[in-house]
Amino acid sequence: MEVDNKMYSVGLLIVATLLVAKLISALIMPRSNKRLPPVVPSWPLIGGLLRFINGPILMLREEYPKLGSVFTLNIFHKKITFLVGHEVSAHFFKASESDLSQQEVYQFNVPTFGPGVVFDVDYTVRQEQFRFFTEALRVNKLKGYVDQMVTEAEDYFSKWGDSGEVDLKYELEHLIILTASRCLLGREVRDKLFDDVSALFHDLDNGMLPISVLLPYLPIPAHRRRDQARKKLAQIFSHIINSRKQSGKSENDMLQCFIDSKYKDGRPTSESEVTGLLIAALFAGQHTSSITSTWTGAYLLSHKQFLSAAVDEQRELLKKHGNKVDHDILSEMDVLYRSIKEALRLHPPLIMLLRSSHSDFTVQTREGKQYDIPKGHIVATSPAFANRLPHVFKDPDSYDPERFAVGREEDKVAGPFSYISFGGGRHGCLGEPFAYLQIKAIWSHLLRNFEFELISPFPEIDWNAMVVGVKGKVMVRYKRRELSVN
- Tell me how far CA of residue 382 lies from CA of 69, 192, 484, in angstroms: 11, 40, 43
Burial of 473 (0-12, 13-18, 19+ CB in 10 A): middle
Q: 384: helix, coil or strand?
A: helix
Task: Find the distance separating the first CA and the last CA of the chain, reported in whole Å.
Answer: 103
Query: How many whole angstroms separate alpha carbon 136 and alpha carbon 131?
Result: 9
R_g (Cα) of the chain, nearest Å: 26
CB-CB neighbours of 331 under 10 Å: 16
Q: For residue 309, what are the contacts with CB-CB under 8 A and spacing of at least 6?
A: 335
Query: How many whole angstroms separate alpha carbon 143 and alpha carbon 247?
Result: 25
Q: 75: helix, coil or strand?
A: strand
Is there a contact between 142 and 430 (Cβ–Cβ < 8 Å)?
no
Residue 429, annotated ligand binder?
Answer: yes
Residues 19-34 as b or e (16 or more Cβ within 10 Å = b): eeeeeeeeeeeeeeee
Q: 454: helix, coil or strand?
A: strand
Q: For residue 91, what are the contacts with CB-CB under 8 A and spacing of at least 6?
A: 83, 99, 100, 361, 363
* Binding region for heme: 429
* Binding region: 429
